[in-house]
Homo-oligomer: A and B are copies of this chain.
Amino acid sequence: MRVGELSRRSGVSVASIKYYLREGLLPAGERTSPNQAAYDDGHLRRLRMIRALIDVGGLSVVATRDVLAAVDDPDLPLFQALGRASGTTTAAPASVEPEDEPDEAWEQAERTLAEHVAERGWQVSAENPAWRNAVGVLATYIRLGDADLANQLGLYMRTMEEVAAHEVAAVVDRGDRARTVEGVVVGTVLGDTLLAAVRRLAQQHQSLRLLGEAPTHPRG
């Protein structure tokens, strides 16, 4: 199909398609004349994935390109592709680290996380960007005097251990490597959004139970 039909079928404007081609998110079509290229269902599928990661998952264009490179590299071991998806930072902040030296709150937060990780027997790397993000939030709780919020860490870890076991098993079950990696990328990034939404619905339900009245919600 030509770029116009690709645009119509994907709902993505021609200008955006050209931008994704230039930025290397979408592979080039097959050139049929100096000014025309032909695209196939693979391009359509890739375009839908790009929009899902950007629009629904909240990834930047650069992060989307990086994570799609893992999908496209057939030689990348599966566990490394998992790591690449895990390195994306949907809900993760631009700056969690103290600008200068780690302060007392940072060190206390890192000790707390390390103790919990040891207690659960997790084998995780402090080089995983998620480690810094977790420490950053815990340190912020401590600095704000909200240490009671940091007490949720054990509960988060126990529940996420169960969630992650099902998530990893489900994508490995797909068998086909390319489909597995796609599932990892989409499930990791969009799963953040789904989990955050489900958490808010659960909070609404539990507020009603505990406070006897439902929170109201501004539209927005």
**A residues at B contact (CB < 8 Å):** 11, 45, 48-49, 52, 55-58, 77-84, 86-87, 89-96, 99, 117, 122-125, 127-131, 133-134, 136-138, 140-141, 143-144, 146, 148-149, 151-153, 155-157, 159-170, 172-174, 182-183, 186-188, 190-211, 213-220
Given contacts A52-B140, A163-B202, 12 further A-B contacts (CB under 8 A): A77-B213, A82-B204, A83-B217, A122-B204, A124-B204, A130-B201, A131-B201, A149-B183, A152-B163, A153-B194, A165-B202, A188-B203
A96–B58 alpha-carbon span in the complex (Å): 10
A203–B129 alpha-carbon span in the complex (Å): 13
On whether the beta carbons of A166 and B172 are closer than 8 Å, the reply is no
Chain B residues, CB < 8 A from A214: 79, 83, 123, 125
Chain B residues, CB < 8 A from A48: 143-144
Chain B residues, CB < 8 A from A87: 217-218, 220
Residue picked from A57, A83, A215, most chain B C-beta under 10 Å: A215
On whether the beta carbons of B219 and A129 are closer than 8 Å, the reply is yes
Measured CB to CB, the closest approach of chain B to A151, in angstroms, equals 7
Q: A133-B196, A134-B201, A168-B203 are in contact. Are A191 and B149 (CB under 8 A)?
A: yes
Determine the residue in chain B with the shortest Cβ distance to A125: B217
Choice from B84, B159, B197, B219 contacting A130 with Cβ under 8 Å: B197
A187–B48 alpha-carbon span in the complex (Å): 33
On whether the beta carbons of A211 and B161 are closer than 8 Å, the reply is no
Residue picked from A125, A146, A196, A214, most chain B C-beta under 10 Å: A196
Chain B residues, CB < 8 A from A206: 161, 164-165, 167-169
Chain B residues, CB < 8 A from A95: 55-56
